[in-house]
Amino acid sequence: MTYRRSVSRKLARGLALVGLVGTILLLAAVVFFYSLTFDDLTAQDALIKAVREMLEHVALPLVVLMVPVAFVVRRVIRQAFGSLEEAATAIEAARGHERGFRIDTSHLPAEALPFTDAVNDLLGRLDDAAMRQEAFAADVAHELRTPLAVLSLEFDRLDHDDSARLKHDVAAMRRLIDQLMLLAQIDAASAAQFPLESVSLVEIARDVVSLLAPGIIAEGKAITLDAGSGHPVARGRREAIAAALRNLIENAVRVTPTGSTVTIRVGPDPVIAVGDGGEGLSTDRLRELVRRHSRADHASTNGAGLGLAIVDRIMAAHGGELTTDPVARELSLHFPGA
């Protein structure tokens, strides 16, 4: 068990020490002033009188002084630390929006400013490091798009049995790069606190399903969309939400046997659920798969192991959550109410 230092306890010990030292000094002053000796106190009456004088003129004034002082000082300390509790509440409320966050020092005591200024400086350095990393990833992704496009054109001209497979792999790499660039844009927008737009989840689901349906049918599988009667809306970036849904559908298609159906369900709350024909995914297993470079049956075939990690990051940027229902064999995108 770690021992925590308490300002209140240190204050109580300090005041007790001050009272004890003050009492001893006052008693010594009285003895010196009245030139008292042990011989003067041998008589019982003299001893009683001396003790009474000490209590009335030394102990009682000290008690009368120290008690209110201790109460007032304790109250002042609580008020001073109240601003720190408010700062801690503000930090906790910023969960999910840490980028660009700084501790407001306008109401903090001067003694706490060195600590909070150091924390704000650390947050600033972390933001700068994250921005540099995102900018680097975006630059690398942008530079890779052109050679991959050229390589895809070369495969079109290649007369070989493996040309189709190689072209498919290149297309998968281009999709991954596009998703990484999209994540960098989302992080940049989040850091700049750009206002989000209201988007229809039903429309996004219809667009993605219509785009992927031909390829799914060509694999001998089916896909259905249950949009319900509501019109759930989320606040975010349309292309990012579409990319997350596309990843989930592609993962669902991978684990769905031939002749089975992938089901997309939207609403009535701002939720998009993707059901597949697999064995279902437990919460613990989903937590493992959202870690980057983890692969399993539900990992994207064209995401280099980043499929669910990208989905989870997109949902976090929108203040939402990626969840699983093993019984219903569904992965769901839960958005906060618009």
| Same domain as 211, residue 153 | no
Domains held by the chain: number: 3
Please write the tens of the pLDDT for every residue from 144-175. 777 777 777 777 777 777 777 777 777 777 77
Asked if residue 173 belongs to a domain, the reply is: yes
Decide if pLDDT at 141 tops 60: yes
Show the 3-state SS of 210-252. HHHHHHHHHCCCEEEEECCCCCCEEEECHHHHHHHHHHHHHHH
Is residue 136 located within the same domain as residue 216?
no
Asked if the structure places residue 1 within a domain, the reply is no
Residues 300 and 203 in one domain: yes
Q: For residue range 295-309, what is the model confidence (pLDDT) as tens digits?
A: 444 444 443 345 788
2: in domain? no
- Give tens-digit pLDDT for 113-128: 888 888 888 888 887 8
Q: Quick one: 204 and 328 in the same domain?
A: yes
CA distance 268 to 67: 63
- What CATH number should be reported for the domain holding residue 155? 1.10.287.130
Mean pLDDT over 182-191 rounds to 65
pLDDT in tens, 30-87: 666 666 555 555 566 666 776 776 777 777 777 777 777 777 777 777 777 777 788 8
The overall average pLDDT reported for the chain is 76
* 252 and 305 in a common domain: yes
Helix axes 60-93, 7-34, angle to 10 degrees: 160
pLDDT computed for residue 187 by the predictor: 65
151-155, 286-290, 329-333: which range is least confident on average?
151-155
What residues make up the domain containing 188?
A: 123-192
226 and 271 both lie in a single domain: yes
